[in-house]
Structure 1
Amino acid sequence: MANLTEPSVQPRTSELTHTPADFAPPGSPPADFTPVGLQQHFNGKGVSAPRRWPTTGGFNVWGNTFPAEGLPTGGGDAEVACIPFRFPVDDSAAGAPDNLRCRGQSVDVPPGEYQWIHVLAAAERRTEDEAVLHYADGSTRREWLRISDFWPETDQRFGELLAFRTRYLMYPRHSQHNMVPSIWLQRVPVTAPGTVTAVELPDNPAIHIFAITLETRRTVAA
C-alpha cells in the first residue's frame, strides 16, 4: 500500500565506506581528477522535488524518480569516495533535465592521458554496453560500461560502489517509503595509452549518467 505523505525521516545520502585507495594497488601514485560538465547533454528527468504532485519527467516507464532532498543537487561539486563530481543542479520545480540518458552521445573531454573514467549512474535494469574512447590521433578504443539497477534494494552486479541511496522512491502522484533506489559509482578503464579527447556513449537508453570525472595518475619522480 503506497503512502501518500512524505517520510518524516531525513534522507540518507552517501553510504560509501570505500575510497579510491580500494581501486588502486598499494604504492600507486596519487591521482588528479577532472570533472566533466554534462549539462548540455542532459536529456532525462530522474529527480523530483518532494511534495509537488504530479512529478515531472520519469526515470523509467512508470515515471519513478529520485527525491531531490536525498541527493546533492546543489549544482556544485559533490565528493563521492574522495572523487569530485559535478552533480546536476536541482531544478526539479522547473522540470529541467538532470541526467544523460545514453543515446550514442559523444562527450568532449579536456584532452588528457587518463587512466579511469568514473561515473555516477544508474540503470533501469542492470545493463552493460560498450563506450568508445576517441583519441587525438584519430584512433578509437571500445571499453565496457556496466551499470547496476537503480531499483530499490537491488544489489550491485558489476563491482560498483554505492554512491547514493535515498529513503524513498517517487511515483508520479505518491511516494513509496519502503523502496530505496540507488545511484552507483562505477569506473571504466582507459586501457590504451594516448590522449583521450572524447567519450562516445552507447545507444542504450536504459543507462542514465548523472556525472563523469576523469582520473589521471601523477608521475612520481624516482
Structure 2
Amino acid sequence: MTTEAGLLNGEADGAAETAGHPWAPRFRPLDLSGHRDNIGITHPADTESGAFNIWRNSLPAGELPAGRSVAVAGVPFDFPPVAAGRPDNVRCAGQFVAVPPGRYDWLYLLAAAERRVEDEIALHFTCGAVEFAPLRVSDFWHAPAVFGEYEAFATATMHYPYHVQKDVSAKIWCQRVPVIGRGELTAARLPVNTAVHIFAATLDRRDAGERP
C-alpha cells in the first residue's frame, strides 16, 4: 500500500465536525453504498468472486484500507468495506449520485480503470444548469499515471479467479474533477463507461470557512 495514504484515527489536520466526521468542513465524503455494483477487491479465500474486468481480476483486500477512513494527499475518503460477495465499487454506468447541496470546487475520487479512460461527469446544479467536467483515469495495471493523478495505492499482488499472483501490481488513483459552475451542486451523473471503477468520493470546498 502506498505509504503516503494514511489511515485516520478519528482526527485529521484542522479537524472539525461535518456530517458525522471529525474532518474540516471543507471536505464532504460521499456515501456511495447505494450505488456500488461491482466486486473489485477480494480476500485470498474468495478470489473467484472478483469481477473487476473481463478476466475477473481483483485487488487484494489485505493491502487496502477496507472499511476504514483514509487520507490521500490530504483528502479524507471513506474506503468501502470488503466482504465475500459484497460490491465494493461503483462501475460507472450513468448512476445519478445526489450530494449535499453546496458550492464546491473539486470532486476527488479514488478510482481505477480497466484501461486508460477519458470521459465526462455531468454536474447538476440547483438552478437547473448541467455542466460537464472531464474525468480522466489511468490504467489500473502497473503503469505510471498519464493524467497527473496521485497514486493512492499500489498493491504488490494481483488476484486472479483461482490464484494470487505475486509481483503483479494494481493501482488505485486519486483523481480530481473540477466543479465547473458557480451555483450550488446537487448531484453528479457518472459516465456510461464501465471501464471506470470508483471506490470512494469526496467533495472539497476550499473556502468553506468563509462561506455562510
Looking at structure 2, the residues matched to 185 and 49 of structure 1 have their Cα atoms a distance apart, in angstroms, of 23
The alpha-carbon deviation at position 76 of structure 1 amounts to 3.0
The answer as to 2:122 corresponding to 1:114 is no
Aligned with residue 129 of structure 1, among 114, 119, 122: 119
The answer as to 2:34 corresponding to 1:45 is no
- Per the alignment, residue 80 of structure 1 pairs with 72
- Per the alignment, residue 32 of structure 1 pairs with 26
Which of 197-206 and 52-61 deviates more?
A: 52-61
Q: Is the contact made by 1:119 and 1:185 (CA closer than 8 Å) also made in structure 2?
A: yes
The alpha-carbon deviation at position 175 of structure 1 amounts to 1.2
The alpha-carbon deviation at position 220 of structure 1 amounts to 6.8
* Aligned CA distance change for structure 1 residues 150 and 130 (closer, same or farther; 3 Å): same
Tell me the C-alpha RMSD between the 2 structures.
1.6
- Per the alignment, residue 187 of structure 1 pairs with 176
Looking at structure 2, the residues matched to 168 and 85 of structure 1 have their Cα atoms a distance apart, in angstroms, of 23
Looking at structure 2, the residues matched to 54 and 160 of structure 1 have their Cα atoms a distance apart, in angstroms, of 28
Residues 123-162 of structure 1: pairs in structure 2 closer than 5 A: 123-152=113-142, 154-162=143-151
- Per the alignment, residue 165 of structure 2 pairs with 176
The alpha-carbon deviation at position 82 of structure 1 amounts to 1.5
Percent sequence identity is 46
Q: Secondary structure at the match of 1:69?
A: helix
Counterpart code for 2:56: G
Which of 53-62 and 97-106 deviates more?
A: 53-62
Which of 78-87 and 197-206 deviates more?
A: 78-87
The alpha-carbon deviation at position 57 of structure 1 amounts to 2.8
Looking at structure 1, the residues matched to 46 and 78 of structure 2 have their Cα atoms a distance apart, in angstroms, of 28
Counterpart code for 1:44: N
Q: Is the contact made by 1:163 and 1:182 (CA closer than 8 Å) also made in structure 2?
A: yes
Structure 2 unaligned regions, length at least 5 = 6-23
* Aligned CA distance change for structure 1 residues 171 and 142 (closer, same or farther; 3 Å): same
Looking at structure 2, the residues matched to 61 and 165 of structure 1 have their Cα atoms a distance apart, in angstroms, of 21
- Per the alignment, residue 59 of structure 1 pairs with 52
Q: Is the contact made by 2:48 and 2:160 (CA closer than 8 Å) also made in structure 1?
A: yes
- Per the alignment, residue 21 of structure 1 pairs with none
Spell out, residue by residue over 1:104-162, the C-alpha distance to the aligned partner (whole angstroms, 9 max, x if none).
Answer: 0010000010000000000000101011000001111000110010012x111100000
Counterpart code for 1:179: V
Counterpart code for 2:88: D
What is the TM-score when the length of structure 1 is the normalising length? 0.83
- Higher Rg: 1
* Aligned CA distance change for structure 1 residues 178 and 218 (closer, same or farther; 3 Å): same
Residues 88-99 of structure 1: pairs in structure 2 closer than 5 A: 88-91=80-83, 94-99=84-89
- Per the alignment, residue 3 of structure 1 pairs with none
Q: Is the contact made by 2:152 and 2:173 (CA closer than 8 Å) also made in structure 1?
A: yes
The alpha-carbon deviation at position 53 of structure 1 amounts to 5.1
The alpha-carbon deviation at position 54 of structure 1 amounts to 4.7
Looking at structure 1, the residues matched to 3 and 122 of structure 2 have their Cα atoms a distance apart, in angstroms, of 31
Q: Is the contact made by 1:120 and 1:185 (CA closer than 8 Å) also made in structure 2?
A: yes
- Per the alignment, residue 14 of structure 1 pairs with 2
What is the TM-score when the length of structure 2 is the normalising length? 0.86
Structure 1 unaligned regions, length at least 5 = 1-12, 18-29
Counterpart code for 1:144: P
Looking at structure 2, the residues matched to 180 and 220 of structure 1 have their Cα atoms a distance apart, in angstroms, of 40
Instruction: Name the structure where strand makes up a greater proportion of residues.
Output: 2
The alpha-carbon deviation at position 55 of structure 1 amounts to 2.3
Counterpart code for 2:2: S
